[in-house]
Structure 1
Amino acid sequence: MTQTIYTFGAENFKNETVDFAKYQGKTLLIVNTASACGFTPQYAGLEALYQQYKDQDFEVLAFPCNQFGKQEKGNNTEIKQFCDLNFNISFELFSKIEVNGENTHPLYQHLKSEAPGILGSKGIKWNFTKFLVNNQGEVIKRYSPTTKPADIAADIAALL
């Protein structure tokens, strides 16, 4: 049996453990984020997608990461305050993690192996790399940081 996303868990921004089994039956968009990136305005697009599809069992999961240009310097509370103040996000924000290297979060090890990037590369190249997961917990597709959230809407709708 293939491993699904539901075998993982992570800490939210309050440092509470979230068991991904709670997302069973939901379509997910998982994103590594940063507050001081050129792509940071994508938070608004992610919130728009969440608002559009949340009533159809869709969730956005945001994972702040400071590995690209040191663009996420804040602690969890500061990151949450930034997101609330600037984008009023209502989707799930997790604790800051690493997505590459020896301290890669297990969730991201799974995402990268299930949906490699261009030419089969496993590494995350930059902030706001997105992974679409179907309601069976299977990783369907990886999107580059330059892919705007609105451009993923048709793929999300097709899975709902």
Structure 2
Amino acid sequence: MRVVLQRSGPASVRVDGEVTGSIDKGYVLLVGITHSDTEEDAAYIAKKIAGLRLWEDSEGKMNRSILEVDGAILSVSQFTLYGDVKKGRRPSFIDAARPEQAKPLWETFNRRLEEEGLHVQTGIFGAMMAVELVNDGPVTICIDSN
């Protein structure tokens, strides 16, 4: 499982012009799933995200978690995180899990985030989505379960 985490101010995702999820501040998560990913991978990354200290304390140091700043999650499935561009000019997505595997695991991941105490908003799995965010910092972290 691969997640690109962006610390964000206001963020939203739209499908066909309709907002399907939005947050005031927190993390926008672009979530990619590969064939070998399991529920253990989802649990590991959810716990990691809940505990990361990416928010400033009173001294301006990244010392506070998303839970401490009352942030939320905007989770967006993104199979293109497993795009391979080593050969040619068009990416291969052979490493991305098929939708019938990826969708339930993405949903499990979102539930695990909620179990960690986070408020989770989402896009729609498999839809063409427009994601808007204010990247705060900017702070962008890549997390891989391997």
TM-score by length of 2: 0.44
Larger radius of gyration: 2
- Judging by fraction of residues, say which structure has more strand: 2
Structure with the bigger RCO (C-alpha within 8 Å, sep 6+) is 2
- Judging by fraction of residues, say which structure has more helix: 1
TM-score by length of 1: 0.41
